[in-house]
Chains A and B, each alone.
Chain A
Amino acid sequence: MKDKKNIMIIGSGRLGSMLAKKLSQGDNDVTIVDYDENALSDIEMEFSGFTHLGDATSLDTLVAAGIEKCDVVLCVTNNDNVNIFTALVAKSVFNVNRVVAKLYEESRTAALNGYDIITVFPSMLSIEAFHSCLGQIGVENED
């Protein structure tokens, strides 16, 4: 059995809220941060963790939401620069063990150089899925 983790999710969009629900069902301590009250109230139904209303690009918000006690921070807002900023802050200011950032644009990773931050690219994942799907239905497509 895996250890129980203290996880912060920054951004309560579709991805953030789905992750929050899944991770809280897995018996982790989950806090989700967003500046949009509506986005946060939407997820409360099936979510057993904490919600924190505030601007995650302000260090005091992250402290108030408990980042200092987190083992894992997932930066999944809809803004690449906000994800990069919060990931860098989690790593460099708060020494969070594992940090993951979602990025729409691969070229922006240069700003993360030198930091142990895991990146996830939704567009690349979609392309891979499409590629195998097209292969299955017999449409030729380059690797």
Chain B
Amino acid sequence: MNIIIVGGVKKARYLIKTFAKNKNKVVFINKDIKYCRLIEQEFEIKVICGDASKPNVFSSIEPEFYDILIALCPSDADNICICRLAKELGVKRTISVVNNECNKLAFKKLGIDTPISVTGLISTIIEKNAYTSRIEELVSIDEGKAIIMEIELDNESPIVNKTLVEAKLPEDCSVSCIIRNGNAVIPRGGTVLLEKDKLVIISLPEISQKVVKAVRGAE
């Protein structure tokens, strides 16, 4: 894939590292000349020092051959301008961080393909983790319409040594996978749940607490 990354410092560097490794063609655009030099030294990618909300910055590359532009600027106004310009110049998809949660609607209305609101993601994770620390990971699907969580069973769990059917977990949740001794097991109704199993459960967000209780027992 051909990818343009605009703005950002640490986030950008990490993304460059990830994408450059996978044989993608990556271009980095940033206003800060010092940071541009640093990136140039560290990675073998094209670096353009300039303001990506101005068309002439793209004159040395052919934007129509790029699949994705990722905007990481701290200003939502800049990110919107950059993504809209990129689309006009022929970049296929635009992804942007949304710095201010209440601007999310604007990103959608203005045709940014994938707006990512960092604050929103972080607050969901913190909120869900606040009531139990033993939930390993939480992923929110389609802005929180469903969540995936990973819960480890200990010997106090009421469902240990029961089959999935006997465990009678709440409706609106489903155990999609069990991580057992480092292997993934796709469970069926007759699969017996064991201590130290990690259950990967997909559930509606409003019953997630109920699911945790059912799996781990009352805390």
Contacts and interface: CB of A to CB of B under 8 A. Distances in A.
Given A59-B102, A105-B54, A81 B77 contact: yes
Given A111-B81, A111-B85, A59 B103 contact: yes
Contact of A81 (B55, B75, B106, B110): B75
A92 B110 contact: yes
B69 to A, nearest CB: 13
Interface of A: 57-60, 79-82, 84-86, 88-89, 92-93, 105, 107-108, 110-113
Question: Does more than half of chain B's interface fall in helix, strand or loop, or is it mixed?
Answer: helix
Interface string B68-97: 000000011110110011001100000000
Contacts of B110: 88-89, 92
A58 B88 contact: no
Interface in B109-159: 109-110
Interface of B: 53-56, 75-78, 80-81, 84-85, 88-89, 100, 102-103, 105-106, 109-110
Task: Give me the 10 closest cross-chain CB pairs, A-B, nearest first.
Answer: A85-B77, A111-B84, A92-B109, A81-B81, A110-B88, A81-B77, A60-B102, A111-B81, A82-B77, A57-B77
The secondary-structure label for the interface of chain A is helix
Contacts of B102: 58-60
A85 B54 contact: no
B80 A85 contact: yes
16 contacts: A59-B100, A59-B102, A59-B105, A80-B53, A80-B81, A81-B78, A81-B81, A85-B106, A92-B106, A105-B54, A110-B55, A110-B85, A110-B88, A112-B84, A113-B84, A113-B88
Contacts of A82: 77
B109 A93 contact: yes
A85 B109 contact: no
Contacts of B105: 59, 93
A43 B55 CA distance: 36
Interface centre among B76, B77, B84 (most CB of A within 10 A): B77
A51 B104 CA distance: 26
A58 B101 CA distance: 9
A108 B75 CA distance: 16
A110 B84 CA distance: 8
Given A58-B100, A92-B110, A107 B77 contact: no
A88 B53 contact: no
B81 A58 contact: no
Contacts of A92: 106, 109-110
Contact of B77 (A84, A93, A113): A84
Given A57-B76, A81-B77, A88 B106 contact: yes
A88 B105 CA distance: 12
